[in-house]
Amino acid sequence: MKMIRAFIRPEKEQEVVLALEGAGFPSLTKMPVFGRGKQKGLQVGPVHYDELPKALIMTVVDNEDVDRVVKIIQDKARTGFIGDGKIFVSPVESAYTVRTGEAVL
Amino acid sequence: MKEITAIIRRDKLPETKNMLDELGYPSMTIQSVDGRGKQKGAMCAEMDSEMPDSYCAAVKLTPTPSAYALEHTLPKVALYVPKRMLTIVVPDDVVTKIVKSIIKVNQTGKHGDGKIFVSPIEGAVRVRTGEHDGEAIA
């Protein structure tokens, strides 16, 4: 299993979530976060924005689905401009469903 | 070291904290998150049946109950459920014990009890002293 954490534009969040649901990955956790990237924030005229609002979407999927999920997020969250975000994939050793107590996703 | 990420009901947090205190692992990070599981939020499980078959042909996209709910502004639909996310980093040998205790405290038997994920952590540093790995989380 892998945990996929995608930092995306907040306005793209709904589109990504609906696309994931359509592909059969309805489960996710989301939270609002603030961050910056290589460009050290955003400069608009004299104003410098150091921390930009992003949406963090976190989901855990089986190994064979990772590429598909990453592709869906990439397709839907992409605008081609800086600030589209990042996707991180990290290992998860086990997942438990609290309701049943079973070690299944 | 392992990281235990538990996404649980909001009202079970105090009980979970007390239980972790008693076990001797009181350190944790708590976040307020919104989430959904297989049931696609609080009301979308019932939406699947409400969604007419003609809708699929009409939108020519993969239809989803959430998309339908948003388009038709249906009442009483919650696409996300507010949850608390706990992150605890613990030594390898106590992972099973802690996971079992979290399940025991949080289990109500109804949908929405949450998920627990266990993932490996490669290193840890205590900022105050600069201690590494095992010492840092002791």
Q: What CATH number is given for A2-7+9-91 in this structure?
A: 3.30.70.120
- If interface means Cβ-Cβ distance under 8 Å, which residues of chain A face chain B? 1, 3, 14, 17-19, 21-23, 26-31, 60, 90-99, 101
ipTM of model: 0.85
- Domain span at B66: 38-79
Instruction: Please report the sign of the dihedral spanned by the C-alpha atoms of residue A59, residue A62, residue A68, residue A71.
Output: positive
Spatial separation of the C-alpha atoms in residues A37 and A40, rounded to whole Å: 6
- How far does the CA of residue B115 sit from the closest CA of chain A (Å)? 5
For chain A, what are the domain ranges?
2-7+9-91
Same domain? B70 vs B51: yes
What is the tens place of the pLDDT at every residue in B92-127? Answer: 999 999 999 999 999 998 888 999 999 999 999 999
Residues of B in contact with A19 (CB under 8 A): 62
Q: How many domains does the structure of chain B reveal?
A: 2
Tell me the pTM. Answer: 0.85
- Residues B32, B42, single domain; the answer is no
B67 in contact with chain A, both atoms CB, cutoff 8 A: yes
3-state secondary structure of A37: coil
Same domain for B127 and B61: no
B74 shares its domain with B92: no
pLDDT tens string, chain A, 105 residues long: the values are: 999 999 999 999 999 998 898 888 989 999 999 999 888 888 899 999 999 999 999 999 999 999 999 999 999 999 999 889 999 999 999 999 999 988 888
B-chain CB neighbours of A94 within 8 Å are 117-118
B52 lies in the same domain as B75: yes
Are residue B88 and residue B32 in the same domain, yes or no?
yes
